[in-house]
């Protein structure tokens, strides 16, 4: 896939991409991100690159957090992370200059899909009781 410059992406895509980066970098979400500080730095870099295209100031570096497994997310956290990964991959992938970040986000999306499937299977084994 040919890479586009961030300058070639529509403003709506840039705003969505920045919001997606901010979502992933929230403390409540980034504790579930594997890859540690290098991945956080790449997501933060993309956030700042997109912000620069939008005329915004850089927000600075993220601080490390104690990681947890994605199986510990709430359904709402998992849904937010799913939205963020999909937004970056579907709308902004062409503007992601680092192939390692695109690969990481694709892996995150696959991990989220696997966790969602696992939860569906667990819920199917324990049907809800009638009211």
CB 100 within 8 A of CB 42: yes
How do residues 22-78 score in pLDDT, each as one tens digit?
Answer: 999 888 888 888 877 788 888 888 899 999 988 988 877 777 678 888 899 999 999
The model carries a pTM of 0.81
- The answer to whether position 1 is within a domain reads no
CB 92 within 8 A of CB 17: yes
- Structurally, the chain folds into a number of domains equal to 1
- The answer to whether position 4 is within a domain reads no
- The answer to whether position 31 is within a domain reads yes
DSSP element (H, E) containing 24: helix 11-25
Mean pLDDT for the chain?
86
- The answer to whether position 32 is within a domain reads yes
Q: What is the largest CA-CA distance in the chain?
A: 55
Nearest to 105 by CA among 82, 121, 122: 82
């Amino acid at each position: 896939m040919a890479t586009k410059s961030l300058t070639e992406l529509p403003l709506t895509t840039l705003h969505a991409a920045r919001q997606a980066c901010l979502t992933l970098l929230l403390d409540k979400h980034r504790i579930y991100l594997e890859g540690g500080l290098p991945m956080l730095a790449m997501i933060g870099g993309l956030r700042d690159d997109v912000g620069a295209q939008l005329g915004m100031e850089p927000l600075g570096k993220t601080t490390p957090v104690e990681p947890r497994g994605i199986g510990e997310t709430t359904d709402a956290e998992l849904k937010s992370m799913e939205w963020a990964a999909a937004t970056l991959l579907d709308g902004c992938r062409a503007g992601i200059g680092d192939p390692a970040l695109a690969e990481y986000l694709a892996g995150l999306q696959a991990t989220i899909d696997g966790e969602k499937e696992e939860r569906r299977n667990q819920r199917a084994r324990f049907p809800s009781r009638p009211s």
